Amino acid sequence: MSNLETYYKKSQPLEDYIADMTTNKNNVLAIYDAFSIPSNDSKIENLKGASFSKVLVITEDWCGDAMMNLPILARISEYLNLEVRVFHRDEDTNLIDRYLTNGTARSIPIFIFLNDNYEQVNVWGPRAREAQEFVTDLRAEKLPAKDDPTYEEKEKEVHQEIASKYKNDTELWNQVYDSIVTKLSV
């Protein structure tokens, strides 16, 4: 089993990953351009000089949650001067299998905050609580049973509604920001 340093060194710098994206690149860049760190936030100020200096991101280009969360992480990392590298989840599932959501799901993105010795200091992902509540409520409201003949069509509609909210809801972006910074403050 590879250690986190090996995975980190095999991963792409965030800028290269974004440049190579084919599915969500424009949305990632649009959110990045539109999002900024809230001014006078003492929580992020208190993270300057924290024990982590690197972030290993596990993700894939097609992931809607990553589309929203990556640009916010990029802004946080710039502010805190963290080096971010991206590992493609499906390249080697041994890494994501260490970070299963609810013990079963290979949900992404996962942000692993590492110190200078490549030791895990903290982990965040795949969603902020508010994003999870939105997705759970929307699916409960709009999706029929899986054996319903309209399920696939309704699921596509739900995914489009989720993506639209992720691309445009600045309040949700701030909740994601707050979720990440709060988790790092622990």
What is the tens place of the pLDDT at every residue in 134-174? Answer: 999 999 999 999 999 999 999 999 999 999 999 999 999 99
Q: What is the pLDDT of residue 9?
A: 96
| Phi and psi angles of residue 111, each rounded to the nearest 5 degrees, phi first | -110, 115
Average pLDDT over residues 86-103: 93
Q: What is the pLDDT of residue 2?
A: 62
Name the residue with tokens 């990045």.
32
**CATH, range 4-127+179-185:** 3.40.30.10
Sign of the torsion formed by the C-alpha atoms of 48, 51, 55 and 58: negative
Q: What is the pLDDT of residue 121?
A: 96
pLDDT tens across 13-67, in order? 999 999 999 999 999 999 999 999 999 899 999 999 899 999 999 999 999 999 9
140: Cα separation from own chain's centroid: 23
Sign of the torsion formed by the C-alpha atoms of 79, 81, 82 and 84: positive
Backbone conformation region of residue 81, classed left if phi is above 0, alpha if psi is from -120 to 50, else beta: left
Give the pLDDT band of residue 1 (cuts 50, 70, 90): very low
122 pLDDT exceeds 50? yes
Record the tokens describing residue 30, joined without a space: 């649009």
DSSP 37: P
Residue type, 39: S
The residues spanned by each domain of the chain are 4-127+179-185
